Structure 1
């Protein structure tokens, strides 16, 4: 496994807006189809990370083109558009990018820790389908360990700053008497649940109603947070009665259209979805204010300034974990030799020359000493890493074993 066959290709908020990113978002059905195509193409290790800020494909391939073609085969966006806007990283640069993403250093809101859960979910799905091998698993574990250390040892994720929290900041700043407004929240997944909890915690006991296609999920969350729940069948009636509508669903196309809001009262609509689940044409209505994830992420907060000061510490932690991964990777090349030597040491017990000097007083060959063999192999591994002379170390290993078993 050559790390220079590891690629990352993707688009993110730095060069694209929410509408463009929406064309390359991957939902669970598309992800499953993509992995089926990967198997047919001979690609064996990969995963896709698709969030409101980015869509990236990571994997082992001969060229990055294999991965980008595979990704775009499942998106509404074209390969030509993707290549024009995408970044491609290879080998150590791709690995470092993964570590930065996992740490929240590459997030639209610096230190946004929601990315960790999204990364774990993306990898879990790929692993369940057999696309996470030894190299990727070790790499991902290292990235998650670095992320955990950064969260524990720095203030990079301190305070309450995320897209879901930014929505609350926006409402408090731009909606007078928000505590007296009727708020409708569509979608009770991770972002929806986080947004609802933030409303309860930071706005207070206002009129909140939850809707979700799977009504059981909405009912469970509503019960835990003591808020209202309504049937998804009454979606448009609930929208008409609400002052604020927050959408955190995962639909492939808008579920709220301009026509649904004709002759409506004044409303604030917040779209936390990628692709957009509120048609941007609603902005043409003078009584509608529409805000999306890009606008929310630009909100300034003192917490973000504090986080910037923590970046050097986070980078130092990442460098340490990257070095550990590189050492693991380069040591793996010695494994076949070490296993071969171990097998030879065990096989030596059948050698007549070895038997002639390793018999006890009853002329019985001494049993295999597995402890001694492992000790010799460990010593050989250390010497190989230091001297890079496998042949000499092989001979020395045999001498060491004979020496420690001749008493």
Structure 2
């Protein structure tokens, strides 16, 4: 059975989401631990700013809930109010909706698709992605492509990055005159840098743990790069700060920002913290002259674009519903594979036995024509003995059920019967 277990921006506040987030450096260990849990045969973990979700092929979801709490050292009582659990077909539909961006804070945003692909690659590397989950995500990618190419879900998208620029323009008259510091060099920061730098800011700086990666990004936008441990020195020089790292602890503390504000002579500083867990201590937002926004705050900006995309959402949901039905058919077909294999094995054993018997008869000099007739007769009798016996011994509704099944399995339609009737009529 396929299950999805998780929390997201719909079900849980940031304070809870950051406690169950999986950093990139911990993901492989977490996947191995989850796959070793009793009853779990396949697993993938999607952990982003807005969600932490476990996709599993498992016996029951209870083991997943217990594992998540133990791994993050958070009690089930604390987690329970915020968790959602989907089992197929709801789990399949949820995976498709997530990949299409329909479950995102910004409806239709394309970034989530890349994050799902990263989650799949991580599971493949660890070896926890089995046949069912692999097929599920490949279908999800296909559905996302279909939705984006056949509906207007991606039109006039308000991304997190664009929302950040919009917020900055509420504080400053123009981004063009500001100095911007980007902390981190991942995909989200790249997107934010592209949006902010389109406004041609006065200065761009990238702070990253690996200076080489920071230089690679900053050079694209005509900026410079610094190390993370240089933040206290450079923070006062910047008006806008956008941070998104994978640090498990805040990297910008209250004291650091207090000193920066003093050095800036209380000129305002705008901070967007897109990281989960947070990069900026929560208390920083209480300081005068500091405007601190988290991923949850950006929801206020993106809501305005939702109504214009509702028609596209309805179309997308229709496509998803159809594709879910198809995937369920694939899963059901997989359930019959062991029966089909057993049926073919039994038929092959009968065939081999009769061929060996026929070869011995031929070796003794019996007529080939007689041997072939005996072979075909004995083989057909063997193959039909079990179903014929079962039909004869059945009664009532069971017999009707088996007869209908036999007619469908062996394609026993009316045509042969009509053919026999015509032959009888011709013989009169």
TM range, smaller chain: 0.7 to 0.9
Counterpart of 1:95 in structure 2 is 92
8 Å CA contact retained: 2:8, 2:50 = yes
Counterpart of 2:392 in structure 1 is none
Task: Report whether the alignment pairs 1:351 with 2:354.
Answer: yes
- Where do residues 163-174 of structure 1 align in structure 2 (5 Å cutoff)? 163-174=160-171
For residues 27-58 of structure 1, what are the alpha-carbon distances to aligned partners after superposition, in whole Å with 9 as ceiling and x for unaligned? 13332332232343232211111111111112
Task: Report whether the alignment pairs 1:179 with 2:204.
Answer: no
Which whole-Å CA distance do the structure 1 matches of 2:336 and 2:147 have between them? 32
- Where do residues 83-162 of structure 1 align in structure 2 (5 Å cutoff)? 83-162=80-159
Aligned residue pairs, count: 369
8 Å CA contact retained: 2:249, 2:278 = yes
Q: Which of residues 302, 316, 319 is equivalent to 2:318?
A: 316
Q: Which of residues 7, 17, 23 is equivalent to 2:19?
A: 23
Which whole-Å CA distance do the structure 2 matches of 1:329 and 1:9 have between them? 20
Q: CA deviation at 1:356?
A: 9.7
Alpha carbons of 1:221 and 1:55: their partners in 2 closer, same or farther (altered >3 Å)?
same
Larger Rg: 2
Long gaps (5+) in structure 1: 367-386, 397-407
Which whole-Å CA distance do the structure 1 matches of 2:333 and 2:213 have between them? 47
8 Å CA contact retained: 1:34, 1:71 = no
8 Å CA contact retained: 1:24, 1:76 = no
For residues 71-90 of structure 1, what are the alpha-carbon distances to aligned partners after superposition, in whole Å with 9 as ceiling and x for unaligned? 22222543221112211222
Alpha carbons of 1:281 and 1:44: their partners in 2 closer, same or farther (altered >3 Å)?
same
Alpha carbons of 1:355 and 1:392: their partners in 2 closer, same or farther (altered >3 Å)?
farther
Counterpart of 1:251 in structure 2 is 247
For residues 86-118 of structure 1, what are the alpha-carbon distances to aligned partners after superposition, in whole Å with 9 as ceiling and x for unaligned? 112222112211111111111111112211111
Q: CA deviation at 1:140?
A: 1.5
Q: Helix, strand or coil for the counterpart of 1:47?
A: strand
Q: How big is the alpha-carbon RMSD for the aligned residues of Structure 1 and Structure 2?
A: 2.8
Which whole-Å CA distance do the structure 1 matches of 2:84 and 2:333 have between them? 30
Long gaps (5+) in structure 2: 373-402, 413-428
Alpha carbons of 1:358 and 1:137: their partners in 2 closer, same or farther (altered >3 Å)?
farther
Alpha carbons of 1:388 and 1:274: their partners in 2 closer, same or farther (altered >3 Å)?
farther
Which whole-Å CA distance do the structure 2 matches of 1:75 and 1:248 have between them? 21
Q: CA deviation at 1:388?
A: 7.6
Q: Which of residues 45, 49, 64 is equivalent to 1:48?
A: 45
Q: Which of residues 314, 330, 333 is equivalent to 1:331?
A: 333
Q: CA deviation at 1:301?
A: 6.3
Which whole-Å CA distance do the structure 2 matches of 1:327 and 1:160 have between them? 34
8 Å CA contact retained: 2:270, 2:290 = yes
Q: Which of residues 257, 262, 275 is equivalent to 2:258?
A: 262
Q: Helix, strand or coil for the counterpart of 2:72?
A: coil
For residues 127-174 of structure 1, what are the alpha-carbon distances to aligned partners after superposition, in whole Å with 9 as ceiling and x for unaligned? 211211111111121122111111111111222422122111111232
Q: Which of residues 217, 225, 230 is equivalent to 1:221?
A: 217
